[in-house]
């Protein structure tokens, strides 16, 4: 019998959103984009056979150069990963000795405690204040190996000002990682702090803002010495040639990307307004490509089931603090939002 680490005996894995097997669903549960860059599709079509039978660039250097140019950095301050999830895992491997503390607000991305447990680290969550505000005093007083701040917050959609991130960095933390998976949809970000704080890194992804969730490409912007360590411990050839080509093409498709981001913001406003008009529902302000809506007198699990019966998928995160009776809804296409609002209105009015 294979011996498994004893600390993994009660390991609770990350539970992803449902992925339906047929295409007849309205899928608003995993915060994917509803389209992808035309340039990325063209790049995949032009890849050629060598993109399959040759190994890809092992460090994705051409893509790292493009990202460095976009953000005014040098390539040695950029690491590309198999989705930003791999970046988060590499960071824990790089800075966490067994038993080291991983810190995050609560709520936050639910993968953090999973990755901490897999690394043999301890995980501590500091409860957010009202309206999902950061408890800055408690966060700044802690001394963890690594601190994750999801901004915009997942699942709340709350974006945290750069001044708050700066305060945490200045308080003496070893490493502060701002997880900006949804930052392109927000009004602010922490990019301007990278030159000021040597203990700050920013994780981003092509999944949401560039419509490449299926390609699995994420990246880190951070101190050169940290990035070189991540490159040393990452898996070999971790980003396929197809994914690298698609990501580079997506960066070149800047006009398309910016138009898509603006469209998401506009549709997000319509979604919030529509949810607010339904009796009992209270959507939270959002700076992401999703909206968290408190279901009030209605049961969120029951609404989830009623929508699923109409082949509409949304997400209930009942284990997440502050979202026990809430649904997280991706900002979909106009037609999808209209259908969702119509079904929700009918269900709630029938109660």
Q: What is the pLDDT of residues 99-140, one digit of tens each?
A: 999 999 999 999 999 999 999 999 999 999 999 999 999 999
38-253: what fold?
3.40.640
Enter the tokens of residue 35: 């389209």
**Which letter does DSSP use for residue 7 in this model?**
G
Q: Provide the pLDDT for residue 43.
A: 96
The answer to whether 53 and 235 have CB atoms below 8 angstroms apart is: no
Q: Provide the pLDDT for residue 349.
A: 86
- Whole-Å CA distances, 212 to 217, 281, 293: 7, 32, 26
pTM of the entire predicted model: 0.96
**Nearest-5° Cα angle at 306, 302 to 311:** 140
**Nearest-5° Cα angle at 218, 212 to 220:** 155
Domain boundaries along the sequence of the chain: 23-35+255-350, 38-253
Q: What average pLDDT does the segment 276-304 reach?
A: 97
**Which letter does DSSP use for residue 235 in this model?**
P
Enter the tokens of residue 144: 């963890």
Locus of tokens 């339906």: 20
CA pair distance 37, 310, nearest whole angstrom: 30
Locus of tokens 């009623």: 306
Better-predicted residue by pLDDT, 20 or 253: 253
Q: Is the pLDDT of residue 93 over 90?
A: yes
**Nearest-5° Cα angle at 320, 311 to 145:** 130
Residue 209 Cα to chain centre, angstroms: 10
23-35+255-350: what fold?
3.90.1150
241-252 and 38-45 helices, crossing angle to 10°? 140
């Amino acid at each position: 019998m294979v011996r498994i680490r004893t600390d993994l005996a009660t390991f609770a894995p990350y539970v992803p959103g449902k992925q339906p097997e047929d295409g007849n669903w309205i899928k608003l549960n995993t915060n994917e984009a509803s389209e992808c860059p035309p340039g990325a599709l063209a790049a995949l079509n032009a890849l050629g056979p060598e993109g399959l039978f040759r190994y890809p660039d092992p460090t994705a250097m051409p893509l790292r150069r493009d990202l460095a140019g976009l953000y005014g950095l040098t390539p040695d301050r950029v690491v590309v990963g198999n989705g930003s999830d791999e970046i988060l895992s590499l960071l824990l491997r790089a800075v966490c000795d067994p038993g080291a503390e991983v810190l995050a607000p609560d709520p936050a991305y639910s993968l953090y405690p999973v990755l901490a447990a897999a690394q043999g680290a301890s995980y501590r969550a500091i409860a957010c204040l009202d309206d999902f505000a950061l408890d800055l005093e408690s966060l700044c007083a802690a001394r963890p190996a690594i601190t994750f701040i999801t901004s915009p917050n997942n699942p709340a959609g709350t974006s945290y000002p750069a001044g708050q991130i700066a305060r945490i960095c200045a308080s003496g933390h070893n490493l502060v990682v701002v997880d900006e998976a949804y930052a392109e949809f927000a009004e602010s970000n922490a990019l301007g702090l990278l030159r000021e704080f040597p203990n700050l890194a920013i994780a981003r992804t092509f999944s949401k803002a560039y419509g490449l969730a299926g390609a699995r490409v994420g990246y880190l912007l951070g101190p050169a010495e940290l990035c070189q360590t991540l490159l040393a411990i990452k898996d070999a050839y971790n980003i396929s040639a197809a994914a690298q080509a698609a990501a580079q093409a997506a960066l070149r498709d800047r006009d398309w990307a910016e138009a898509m981001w603006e469209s998401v913001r506009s549709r997000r406003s319509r979604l919030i307004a529509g949810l607010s008009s339904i009796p009992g529902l209270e959507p939270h302000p959002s700076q992401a490509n999703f909206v968290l809506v408190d279901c009030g007198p209605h049961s969120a699990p029951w609404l989830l089931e009623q929508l699923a019966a109409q082949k509409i998928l949304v997400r209930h995160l009942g284990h997440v603090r502050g979202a026990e009776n809430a649904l997280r809804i991706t900002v979909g296409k106009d037609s999808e939002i209209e259908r969702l609002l119509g079904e929700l209105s009918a269900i709630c009015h029938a109660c």
